[in-house]
A and B are shown apart, each in its own frame.
Chain A
Amino acid sequence: MSVDPATFSIVTSIIVAVAREMSTDLLRTAYSSIIREAADASTGLLDRDGNAIAQAENIPIHLNSMGPALRECLKVYGLSELTPQSVLVSNDPYSGGQHLSDVFFFSPIFSGDEVVAFAGSCGHFQELGGSSGYNLRAQDVFQERLRLIPMKFELGRDWPDGMFARLIRGNVRSPREVIGDMNAMLAANKKGVVRMTSALKRYGKDTLLECMGGYLDYCERMLRDRIAQAPDGVYEGEDWIDDDGLNSGPIRIAVSVEIAGNEVHVDFTGTDDQVTSAMNCPFASTVGSVQTAVKMLLSDPDVPFNEGFNRPVHISAPLGSILNPRPYAPCEARQLPVIRSFQAVVKAFSKVLPEQVAATGYDTRTGIRFWRVLSEGGYEFHSDPLGGGYGANYYHDGESQLDDPLGNCRNTPAEAFELSQDFFRVLCFELIPDSGGPGKYRGGLGARRCYEILEDNIRFSWASDRFQHRPEGLFGGQPGTCASIEIHRNDDTIQLPSKGDTVLMKGDIVEVRIGGGGGYGPVEERLQSLVRSDLLNGRITAESARSVYGIEI
């Protein structure tokens, strides 16, 4: 490399900082709360071949989402067709996209007449025409959302008043929010273009291109070194989804991970076929899930991701499986297969990286939603995403009740719910003793959250999993518990399936019991002092101290 080390360090740090600054702009100016508050959006800078150089993914599930989407766009449009006003757009799961809710915008960055890079952003649109909310029963993507196959529009001509804007406006229920979020994405891209243009001026095109290429090599080199340290071999893992939401299941996710020198081959042969519900996982999401697992296991948490990480990792899944569905299978509810494929990969790696992996956690985001129909029309809607217990690991017990490893949602305070509505109340939010899988290190606990309904005819929908398949322990550790959701009505208890919707009445109590994570290592090796401390602190019961750990207190 002809660039000196300080310049390389400075230019790469500027690229990373620009990606992050784009992200704060996007989060700050977005209209919808899912982007602004849940940070379900990402931004990045990509080279002109469509490799992500730096990405600000606010939640891990967005990792590696940019590159595949841009590369598909570049198959349709050559660089010479682009102008500084051009924006490439796509949300198509069958052209490198995630699910239709995730829309990508890419803006070219020019040096003179030459495209040298792209600024990109991705936002999650809760509403984009088609079905409202998750439609598990959608028969294909066309019933899910407006589909934007890779296309190009021109600022000024097509936006904010031209054809592309009118196409969007005419196909969504809340154009103000959707257009607002798209404007926020365009503002973020513009920030990226402006800041990179000034870096171009300061450091020159050649230096910038060399640093971008060098940065890919840098990440690749680090990952290859780590892979090379792991013993060669073929390692297998699997995990299960209870059902597809239409009561067909269980669904098996199977993976084999081959480590060969400084490369990894990940293959999902043996995974069940695609499903008829919307719970299919487009291949780009499968790739993102594997890459996240590889990044978490093999690189330091503070090393930023770029597409150099992809070079030593080769991923395949049979066409027609739930992890590589055929066009145009519905896929809005891809989240469960994404997280289960992540867990299967982690499990496969457990055989070679026992100190880096964790036992399987509950690792599911349970979506709880209450809403009531307003007399003046419309809905008042409250959603409460709940994580669960993490798996234990080589070093310590799993953490209790965290958002799943691919997200990072905060829980909503009971007081915040109660300050903003009067139709339900949170009665408790507490850890469930014995929910963490026993072991040398115990799995994290799941929590119990109860809601008291204060009005008749409250709509309730939920999406959860692991009602039947417990998160497994590792190396002799025992599994964590399953989850359950019940309605207590008068003296009756109504057991609910893992996914569904219903109507609640005043006085109903909804009890959600989240599962815990798996244990790590045999229980016999658990320190007595930890068992006593768990008992003292209510994390296990006296009964399990005796029956599981054999300690009489």
Chain B
Amino acid sequence: MRNVIGRLAIEIGGTFTDVVLVIETEQGIKVNTFKLPSSRSHPEQPVVQAIDSMDIAPSELEEFLHGSTVGTNTVVERRGAQSCLVTTKGFGDILEMQRGDKEVIYSLLYKRPEPLIQRSHVYEADERIDRYGVVLNPLTDQDISEIVEQIRAVAPQSVAVSLLHSYANPEHEKRLYDAITTALPEVNVVLSSDTAPQFREYERTSTTVMSAYVSPVVGAYLRSLEKALKDRGFTGSFNVTQSNGGVMSCDLACRQSVWTLLSGPAAGVSGATRLASTSGYRNLITFDMGGTSTDVCLVEDGKPQLSSEYKVDGLTVALPMIDVVTVGAGGGSIAWKDEGGMLCVGPQSAGSVPGPASYGRGGTAATITDANVLKGIIRAKRSIGGDLRLSVERARDALAQAGAEFGQDPLEFAESIVRVANNNIAQATRLVSTYRGKDPRDYTLVAYGGAGPLHAAFVAEELDIPRVLVPIHAGIVSALGLMLADFRRDYAHTRVIELVEGSMEELRTEFRNLEQDARDELGISSDSGVTIQRCVDARYRGQGYELTIDLTGDEKSAAEIAALFNEAYANRYGYADQGQMIEIVTCRLSCVQRRDVVSPDILRFESRKGQVETAPVWHGGHWIDCCFYERADLGVGDSVRGMAVIEEATSATVVPPGWQARVDESGHLVITREGRQ
């Protein structure tokens, strides 16, 4: 038997499926990356295709890492598990009422996103527990059996149980769990006290319902994939990516599928963060531009910003997610004239079918890609996946037609489109930086995705960002993110603890319990390679909103925590209410286990000097000479000056005049203004 270790990471996106295969043999390490078209109806198809086309046998794979859009699509298309919900009496309409606000403030015809469970499948339990966990109105066995009978009549796949204040005392939820699983063993029962034991009943209930709704579908998908792998001889470990940027085992993911929603952008951010850190860059704005949209995220000190809740199709999920801002600017974004005559680019996208006009697949709308093709930045001779050949003529026709509406010739119009698109991206970048009181000039812009490196330097110019980093294999950073990700789980629990020295034991107990949950779930017995982060959501007593404070490190006294809170408060709001009573409402613990199996170093290209080609490109109203380099031809220490385009299989990087790019020690391209470092 050959001594081969293979690791395969496959990330399914909306348009493309990214594949990274790392093969270690005695001869060395080989990295193979490619893209396949995604299939919405048969998501497993490209995965199986990739496995069947590998250079090694599936039995030689030690690990398979996977991210997909199955969970998100399940929600968006409303084809999840038939589910029921049990709430506290008087709160059965919670899914319909949500929080009573609108997402579009100027709509008189507003329609809320459709709940995942209809009201007739919601049952109310006559019970009440208070915030201290004291039972005010006990749940009777009689009541439980009535609810069980009602559920039996519906014969659902899943039941979500979410009772008021269950984070303080899960007893009633647990009794319902026991009764339902005993009577209906095939039903998947999800408790809010397990899923999101935090206060705010709508958010907790919505998260629990989401879990009940997606778990059977995602679970079935993962199981069938697992079976397909095993049938082919795979015996390695199977790990799945989450929206917090970490991975977890397939077994856990089948039960906790709600953690896998919107995991694609998260994998990209954690991949970009990890890659940039190999060059020592830890304060980043990640910029991922694909075919339909752009995702940006702020990373501070190597930690991507997390939000403690997010929405999928308008429905709340109160679980941590990497906090990306998305705008409709991608290669396929269409240029159009609105009613008032304004030039707009996106959010409408030509996608991959029919795609930009230059794809020659029947698309006629002028897109950002067409503009870059006509400008000569994207060269027609480059293939972009499969046998697709770009047509400059079709790009010119589309741009001529759309440009005529503005009285511009095709080249002028191409430049207009790109300027507007770059501005849209710059504004999105402001949303994660200046809007949060951060100065983008203090960050490195990390560009990836098929189109990110094409636009990055211009966006940097717009925001006066001094440095752009284009990581190695920039077109498939999401899949690389999977390959490089750590195991991660987050836990949170609501309990009001007054911030006084006397209650510190209570706080210790809270964290001890959370840590025990983590160890049990992850099967961690030793501390090696495990990092635990402890945070609290705290507020001044009487306020309705909290700030998250990091308490990781040495144990802190109440006074020290209060000082940290006051400082964070002053940073956020400009002042602090010194002396005001502070209360902790939720404790958060995240547990990260290093998965140091692949070093980013192995991803480096072998330098193999090739031919530099020169061709004119349209820039700033003129044709100027541009050098075209092959990415693999540039070795560590090589540098190029603008105007240049550095091409690779899955992406291309533009170095504008006045900028230069250098390949750093880790193999990344670092682009800076000439004269600056």
Also in contact, A17 and B343, with CB within 8 A (given A401-B100, A415-B164):
no
Question: Which one of B112, B339, B406 has the greatest number of beta carbons of chain A within 10 Å?
Answer: B339
Which segment of B195-203, B385-393, B471-479, B505-513 sits at the interface? B195-203
Assess the B110–A17 pair: CB atoms within 8 A: no
Assess the A6–B544 pair: CB atoms within 8 A: no
Also in contact, A6 and B343, with CB within 8 A (given A37-B545, A60-B105):
yes
Judge if B515 is at the interface, Cβ distance under 8 Å: no
Contact of B108 among A180, A346, A447 (CB under 8 A): A346
Assess the B106–A60 pair: CB atoms within 8 A: yes
What 1/0 flags go to A315-358 for Cβ under 8 Å of B?
00000000000000000000000000000001000000000111
Contact of B118 among A36, A218, A400, A537 (CB under 8 A): A537
A24 to B432, CA, bound (A): 12
Assess the B112–A399 pair: CB atoms within 8 A: yes
A447 to B99, CA, bound (A): 13
Task: Find chain B residues with CB under 8 A from A7 CB.
Answer: 419
A419 to B584, CA, bound (A): 11
What 1/0 flags go to B412-445 for Cβ under 8 Å of A?
0001110110011001001000111100000000
Judge if A420 is at the interface, Cβ distance under 8 Å: yes
Judge if A460 is at the interface, Cβ distance under 8 Å: no
Which segment of A116-124, A235-243, A427-435, A497-505 sits at the interface? A427-435
Also in contact, A218 and B544, with CB within 8 A (given A393-B109, A395-B109, A536-B120):
no
Task: Find chain B residues with CB under 8 A from A58 CB.
Answer: 105
Quick one: closest B residue to A183, CB to CB?
A: B574
Quick one: closest B residue to A412, CB to CB?
A: B544
Task: Find chain B residues with CB under 8 A from A489 CB.
Answer: none
Question: Which one of B90, B106, B434 has the greatest number of beta carbons of chain A within 10 Å?
Answer: B106
Query: Would you give the shortest CB distance from B54 to chain A, in whole angstroms?
Result: 46
Query: Would you give the shortest CB distance from B405 to chain A, in whole angstroms?
Result: 9
A218 to B420, CA, bound (A): 18
Query: Would you give the shortest CB distance from B406 to chain A, in whole angstroms?
Result: 4
Judge if A200 is at the interface, Cβ distance under 8 Å: no
Assess the A537–B420 pair: CB atoms within 8 A: no
Quick one: closest B residue to A388, CB to CB?
A: B100
Query: Would you give the shortest CB distance from A286 to chain B, in whole angstroms?
Result: 19
What 1/0 flags go to A522-553 for Cβ under 8 Å of B?
00000000000000111100000000000000
What 1/0 flags go to B195-220 for Cβ under 8 Å of A?
00001111100000000000000000
Assess the B496–A222 pair: CB atoms within 8 A: no
Task: Find chain A residues with CB under 8 A from B119 CB.
Answer: 536-539
Assess the A447–B435 pair: CB atoms within 8 A: no
Task: Find chain B residues with CB under 8 A from A219 CB.
Answer: 340
Interface size bucket, A side? 35 or more
Assess the B91–A429 pair: CB atoms within 8 A: yes
Judge if A408 is at the interface, Cβ distance under 8 Å: yes
Which segment of A45-53, A141-149, A294-302, A469-477 sits at the interface? A294-302
Assess the B342–A12 pair: CB atoms within 8 A: yes
Also in contact, A28 and B101, with CB within 8 A (given A295-B106, A416-B544, A431-B96):
no
Judge if A418 is at the interface, Cβ distance under 8 Å: yes
What 1/0 flags go to B532-554 for Cβ under 8 Å of A?
00000000011111000000000
Task: Find chain B residues with CB under 8 A from A269 CB.
Answer: none
A537 to B21, CA, bound (A): 51
Query: Would you give the shortest CB distance from A185 to chain B, in whole angstroms?
Result: 12
CB contacts under 8 Å to A, within B367-416, are: 406, 408, 415-416
Task: Find chain A residues with CB under 8 A from B111 CB.
Answer: 396, 399
Query: Would you give the shortest CB distance from A413 to chain B, in whole angstroms?
Result: 5
A172 to B541, CA, bound (A): 24
Assess the A413–B202 pair: CB atoms within 8 A: yes
Judge if B360 is at the interface, Cβ distance under 8 Å: no
Judge if B107 is at the interface, Cβ distance under 8 Å: yes
A424 to B346, CA, bound (A): 50
Assess the A411–B99 pair: CB atoms within 8 A: yes
Judge if A132 is at the interface, Cβ distance under 8 Å: no
Task: Find chain B residues with CB under 8 A from A405 CB.
Answer: 108
Task: Find chain B residues with CB under 8 A from A346 CB.
Answer: 108
What 1/0 flags go to B164-176 for Cβ under 8 Å of A?
1100000000000
Task: Find chain A residues with CB under 8 A from B106 CB.
Answer: 60, 292, 295-296, 301
A55 to B292, CA, bound (A): 29
What 1/0 flags go to B291-304 for Cβ under 8 Å of A?
00000000000000
Assess the B100–A13 pair: CB atoms within 8 A: no
Judge if A414 is at the interface, Cβ distance under 8 Å: yes
Query: Would you give the shortest CB distance from A451 to chain B, in whole angstroms?
Result: 12
Task: Find chain A residues with CB under 8 A from B102 CB.
Answer: 402-403, 408
Task: Find chain B residues with CB under 8 A from A356 CB.
Answer: 108-109
Assess the B430–A413 pair: CB atoms within 8 A: no
Assess the A400–B96 pair: CB atoms within 8 A: yes
Judge if B93 is at the interface, Cβ distance under 8 Å: yes
A396 to B424, CA, bound (A): 34
Judge if B572 is at the interface, Cβ distance under 8 Å: yes
Assess the B110–A428 pair: CB atoms within 8 A: no
What 1/0 flags go to B85-96 for Cβ under 8 Å of A?
000011111101
Assess the A400–B97 pair: CB atoms within 8 A: yes
Assess the B199–A387 pair: CB atoms within 8 A: no
Query: Would you give the shortest CB distance from A536 to chain B, in whole angstroms?
Result: 5
Judge if A225 is at the interface, Cβ distance under 8 Å: yes
Query: Would you give the shortest CB distance from B105 to chain A, in whole angstroms?
Result: 5
Judge if B612 is at the interface, Cβ distance under 8 Å: no
Task: Find chain A residues with CB under 8 A from B255 CB.
Answer: none
Assess the B104–A301 pair: CB atoms within 8 A: yes
A536 to B435, CA, bound (A): 46
CB contacts under 8 Å to B, within A1-49, are: 4-10, 12-14, 17, 20-21, 24-25, 28-31, 33, 36-37
A123 to B92, CA, bound (A): 37
Assess the B542–A218 pair: CB atoms within 8 A: no
Task: Find chain A residues with CB under 8 A from B107 CB.
Answer: 296, 301
Judge if B623 is at the interface, Cβ distance under 8 Å: no
A409 to B89, CA, bound (A): 25
Judge if B130 is at the interface, Cβ distance under 8 Å: yes
Judge if A314 is at the interface, Cβ distance under 8 Å: no
Task: Find chain A residues with CB under 8 A from B94 CB.
Answer: 429
Question: Which one of A380, A395, A429 has the greatest number of beta carbons of chain B within 10 Å?
Answer: A429
Query: Would you give the shortest CB distance from B411 to chain A, in whole angstroms?
Result: 13
Also in contact, A414 and B544, with CB within 8 A (given A5-B406, A358-B108):
no
Judge if A362 is at the interface, Cβ distance under 8 Å: no
Assess the B200–A221 pair: CB atoms within 8 A: no
Query: Would you give the shortest CB distance from B416 to chain A, in whole angstroms?
Result: 4
Contact of B100 among A295, A358, A411, A418 (CB under 8 A): A411
Judge if A390 is at the interface, Cβ distance under 8 Å: yes
A25 to B574, CA, bound (A): 10
A-B pairs with beta carbons under 8 Å apart, 27 shown: A4-B408, A5-B343, A5-B416, A9-B342, A9-B343, A9-B420, A10-B423, A24-B436, A31-B573, A183-B574, A225-B339, A292-B106, A295-B106, A387-B100, A393-B108, A408-B102, A408-B105, A410-B101, A411-B99, A413-B199, A414-B201, A418-B131, A427-B90, A428-B91, A536-B118, A537-B118, A537-B120
Which residues of chain A have a CB within 8 Å of any CB of chain B? 4-10, 12-14, 17, 20-21, 24-25, 28-31, 33, 36-37, 58-60, 180, 183-184, 187, 218-219, 221-222, 225, 292, 295-297, 300-303, 346, 356-358, 380, 386-387, 390, 393-396, 399-403, 405, 408-416, 418-420, 425, 427-431, 447, 450, 536-539
Q: A20-B435, A25-B437, A60-B105 are in contact. List 20 more A-B contacts (CB 8 A).
A: A5-B416, A8-B342, A8-B343, A9-B423, A14-B423, A17-B427, A21-B435, A36-B545, A37-B544, A37-B545, A296-B107, A301-B106, A303-B340, A390-B108, A414-B164, A416-B200, A418-B165, A419-B199, A420-B544, A428-B89
> What 8 pairs between A and B have smallest CB-CB spacing?
A428-B90, A6-B416, A537-B119, A411-B100, A222-B340, A218-B340, A301-B106, A5-B343
Which residues of chain B have a CB within 8 Å of any CB of chain A? 89-94, 96-97, 99-102, 104-112, 118-120, 130-131, 164-165, 199-203, 339-344, 406, 408, 415-417, 419-420, 423-424, 427, 430, 434-437, 494, 496, 541-545, 572-575, 585
